Amino acid sequence: MAAPSRGLESLLAVVTRTRGLPLEQPPPLVAVPRAELVEHALAWLDAHTPEPTRRAEQALLTALELVPAGFDWRAALSQTLRLRLLAFYDSDSGTIWLDAGLAPAARRRTLAHELVHALADRHYALGARLGAGEADARAALLSIAEGDATLLVERLDAAGLLPRDAAAPELASGVLPGVLERSLLATYVDGLAVVRRVFEGGGWADVNALYAAPPASTHALLDFPHTASPTRTLEPFEPPPGTGWLASGATFGEQALRVILEEWLSPQRAFELARGWQGDRLSLFERGAQRALVWEIRATDDVAQAAEDVLREGLGLARAASRRASATSCRAHQGGGVVGLWRRGQSLLIGAWGDVPARDGCALLADWMNPPRGDAAEATDPGPRRLIGPD
């Protein structure tokens, strides 16, 4: 492992002085070919992304038909990183891994960004915290980290402390499906917007406070420092009928909802709708090769209705002519099984069940997503229930 160079030591002095966080020695720096850099980055991501969260995200995007069935996630991510990854900070070893082929100007700018991550890890245990907790909370913290590093590079630029002949890396690779590209970009775009606003209000001390007590969700982050609208912690859904189901789940948050809605809406309209997010919960159930899931989204009344309309159109779920109890708009899924949607007051539920015949599957999905309750609340407010089944 290479020792830090004199150039890295001088850059660290500039970064720590500007950022106001001390670090006595620069982290070890290892320059490797791009292919090796990508392999190290993928190994770090594997170790720091909880497997249940990874499966839940993949299952949701497949259910929404935003990625094709059988999509090779790792191969696509590997190809994307080969196109645009310049470096990454390995919090486990405290090492910066760098593309050995970078020109001097790009190298210096890239290292300035990674040194900010090293500072955040040393002072606020960034790496350990990014590997724990709900997906939504981790997305909020990651957005802060990327916004912090990006703003610091901007400040060094403004002060003439970085070379200006280095072109910024292209963030969109064109390899990943659109929803995954947008997801990767969101942490940088949202993070920079929030961190810049916080910095302008109180300087780096207020940015440090974001790390010390980060917003608990992307909903709270994107509204920071104002009080976000009320949210709810949603309970996991009951498993489908039968035994042997293994359950997992995740809360994805406002940022993820917006990224998904952008598949069918303009960014501004998706942003407006996502602001009404009040909670969500994906419940994923697996039994051998079978997979069933329900994603419940809670929102304000107007947003719940608008999101229902968007998702219904996007998923090709026609409206029923009448309302029927215990019914769900449903159709055959392109990857097998069925996908459906149901509205319950301020909650919108999207369900999918694989490895079932389309007609029987829609009936099974309807009964599972909207079981007969028989209580007073259900009798007085049955909510809209629609059944659209395959021919």
| Residue 69 shares a structural domain with residue 168 | yes
Q: pLDDT at position 243, please?
A: 92
Residue 56, Cβ neighbours under 10 Å: how many? 22
Q: pLDDT at position 161, please?
A: 94
Q: Annotate 111-172 with three-state secondary structure.
A: HHHHHHHHHHHHHHCHHHHHCCCCHHHHHHHHHHHHHHHHHHHHHHHHCCCCCCCCCCCCCC
Q: pLDDT at position 64, please?
A: 96
| Residue 80 shares a structural domain with residue 141 | yes
| Residue 154 shares a structural domain with residue 302 | no
Residue pLDDT tens, the chain, 391 long:
455 566 899 999 999 999 999 998 899 999 999 999 999 999 999 888 888 888 899 999 999 999 988 899 889 999 999 998 999 999 999 999 999 999 999 999 999 999 999 999 999 999 999 988 889 999 999 999 999 999 999 999 999 999 876 555 555 556 789 999 999 999 999 999 999 999 999 999 999 999 999 999 999 999 887 766 778 889 999 999 999 999 999 999 999 999 999 999 999 999 999 999 999 999 999 999 899 999 999 999 999 999 999 999 999 997 654 444 335 789 999 999 999 999 988 999 999 999 888 778 998 998 898 876 544 444 344 443 333 333 3
In a domain, 105, yes or no: yes
In a domain, 342, yes or no: yes
Q: Are 29 and 94 in contact (CB under 8 A)?
A: no
Handedness of CA 201, 136, 42, 182 (dihedral sign): negative
| Residue 217 shares a structural domain with residue 112 | yes
Q: pLDDT at position 150, please?
A: 97
DSSP 243: S
| Residue 283 shares a structural domain with residue 206 | no
* String of DSSP letters for 48-86: HS-HHHHHHHHHHHHHTTSS-TT--HHHHHHHHHHHH--
Q: pLDDT at position 374, please?
A: 47
In a domain, 14, yes or no: yes
* Domain end (from 222, 257, 274): 222
Residue 218, Cβ neighbours under 10 Å: how many? 32
Global confidence as pTM: 0.88
According to DSSP, the β-strands at 95-99 and 29-32 are parallel
Q: pLDDT at position 238, please?
A: 93
| Residue 282 shares a structural domain with residue 347 | yes
| Residue 146 shares a structural domain with residue 251 | no
Contact residues for 354 (Cβ-Cβ < 8 A; gap 6+):
290, 291, 292, 333, 335, 336, 337
Q: pLDDT at position 168, please?
A: 55
| Residue 91 shares a structural domain with residue 137 | yes
| Residue 141 shares a structural domain with residue 290 | no
In a domain, 281, yes or no: yes
Which residues span the domain enclosing 259? 246-380
| Residue 363 shares a structural domain with residue 258 | yes
Q: Are 122 and 157 in contact (CB under 8 A)?
A: no
- Half-sphere CA count of 331, side-chain side, radius 13 A: 14
Q: Which two tokens stand for residue 30?
A: 């290892």
- Please name the helix (run of DSSP H) or strand (run of DSSP E) that holds residue 183, with its range, or none: helix 178-212
| Residue 72 shares a structural domain with residue 192 | yes
Residue 390, Cβ neighbours under 10 Å: how many? 12
* String of DSSP letters for 317-357: -PPPSS--TT--EEEE-TTSSEEEEEEETTEEEEEEE-SS-
How far apart are alpha carbons 306 and 294 in whole angstroms?
19
In a domain, 241, yes or no: no
Q: pLDDT at position 166, please?
A: 55
In a domain, 237, yes or no: no
Q: Are 95 and 28 in contact (CB under 8 A)?
A: yes
* Radius of gyration from C-alpha coordinates of the chain: 23
* Peptide bond connecting 240 to the previous residue in cis, omega within 30 degrees of 0: no
| Residue 316 shares a structural domain with residue 198 | no
Q: What backbone torsions phi and psi does residue 106 show, to the nearest 5 degrees?
A: -65, -35
In a domain, 273, yes or no: yes
Nearest one of 216, 247, 194, 25 to 129, comparing CA atoms: 216
Residue 298, Cβ neighbours under 10 Å: how many? 22
Total number of domains in the chain: 2
In a domain, 240, yes or no: no
- Half-sphere CA count of 284, side-chain side, radius 13 A: 21
Q: Which residue has the tokens 């994107």?
A: 222
